[in-house]
Structure 1
Amino acid sequence: WLPLVCINPPDDLYYLCFLPSGDGGARAGARLIPVLPEGLAGQAGADAGAGADAGAGAGADAGTAQNPFTIPPGFDLSPFLAQGPTFRFTMPTDAVTPRKGGPPYGLAVVFNIACAGRVVTLERSPEGGPQQLPIACVDERGERVPPSDYVFAVSRVYAYDDRTNLNPKVLGAKVDGVPVPITGAAPVELERCTESSKDKCKEIKIDIDIAPESWESDPNNVGPDGQIGREQIWVTYYSDIGDFDNDARLLFDTKSGRVDKSEVVFRAPTTPMNGTIWAVIHDNRAGAEWVVFPVRVK
């Protein structure tokens, strides 16, 4: 995770977080708040960690972070990056601002990168356009790796003065109707496929159980009669082994609620191996939760 949080970039465009102030009259003005360690970001104030569960309306301005484009090119950021699958920060108390055509809100943007080498700063190119990144993933020789060998990601957290949004709550998972642990303590054991064609492999049905209270009211979903509707909740599956026939399923409809037959079909590989299945649950107001369970194909 980059050691900064970008607050209210112009037009909510994440790449304007890195635009140098006054760059040829271009749109700038996003506020960068440093996240520890102080060695890179400068003087940091209150807690500024990260995660999708960052609360609105808590915390204070922790100063101004240094734009990565202003750090000398080739600087190794790796020792200063927060490691792990989550990132926590405190939303500034003044993040919520008036918006045209809608209710006031605040937007915080955080950035992460999956890189097997080192993460270094880049020099801004005058011909590169506004969407160029200030960092790159390099190998042990210092050479940039191709885009297929690393991932740069953006996470957005919205804050409102009078709205809340809980992340979906996962109660459990089922494989072929049998509950399986979602703590990752023990692998889910599956039989390998013995067919010559993948389409003939056994259909293994996987489903996620979501708590009913996760289906919250959505203030943006207002019907013709003025009634406030509900959220939409869906799940997307990923795996580093085997195949899904369809990797996404709707779990809760905005009108009818819990959807029946929300299973996805997974087909195991033809050789024994260990792997992982990820299930990422979303609602349409940027709430998210995920479960990870190991898989052992026998």
Structure 2
Amino acid sequence: MSVVDTRTTIQGSEISFPVCIGPTGFHCLCWPDGEQSTAKAAQALNICYVSSTFSTCSFEDIVSSAPNGLRWFQIYIQRDKQVTKQLIQRAETLGYKALVITVDTPVIGNRLQDNRNKFSLPLFVKIKNFHASIEENSETLLPVSDIDPSTCWKDLAWIRRITRMPIILKGILTREDAELAVSHNVQGIIVSNHGGRQLDTVPATIDALSEVVNAVQGKMEVYLDGGIHTGTDVLKALALGARCIFLGRPILWGLTYKGEEGVRQVLNILKKEFHKSMIFTGCRSISEISQDLVQFSRL
């Protein structure tokens, strides 16, 4: 175990280890430079950063801050198709390498803590890439864009006509939806429950992962989002079939602590833990990580 290689690829691009940064909004709440600092940390670690529709830095500023970084773009499909088209094509022009479509948010979930706390964004925090409004009669004071609740599988054909980026669906949790994704020829799935903030009592993503992986039968890459706190968690996700994992909250914690340096520290902790987990389980490369490493308890 003197040489252990943590590198892998996602959609053909090499990353230094199978941990990437998932789409979360409003990074300027955490640090003045917001998503720019996040993008710099991702570039420094040679991993992918997925920019959110709700970024508080412009896509242009994110790109200029980390021009050599691997970037994907996450979008909520808007009622105004022209707005959706402009966002997607703008991202592609700026060098984003994949399009992540969030499919578990036809409406915003029942965010009880936000509602009870009457949370609202401070005036200095703005969504920079398009105008987002507050829903009429909404209990939440969070600004939300005009998400189209009528979005369905047939919309993928229209999206393919306006972009050449590979399409990743974020928010799949079941075999049935995974099989539909295969039949619609998308390039990837992110198994995600939106951090548990959409429908209460949905499965943990690690519990849904095997069902989705078995359904796609190797026809596309499957990733996992949510619930990862240690390098051992990363190892288990890969053993159960994930190509890599995407981090949400831990990145925001690191960003709040010390900006780019804080995000780097979070990522380096996970990288060291994952590297040791590979050593302890005798895996010299990502390809040697298999389901044999995971034992399921039966109650």
Of Structure 1 and Structure 2, the greater strand share is in 1
Q: Which structure has more RCO (C-alpha within 8 Å, separation ≥ 6)?
A: 2
Larger radius of gyration: 1
What is the TM-score normalised by the length of structure 1? 0.25
Of Structure 1 and Structure 2, the greater helix share is in 2
What is the TM-score normalised by the length of structure 2? 0.25
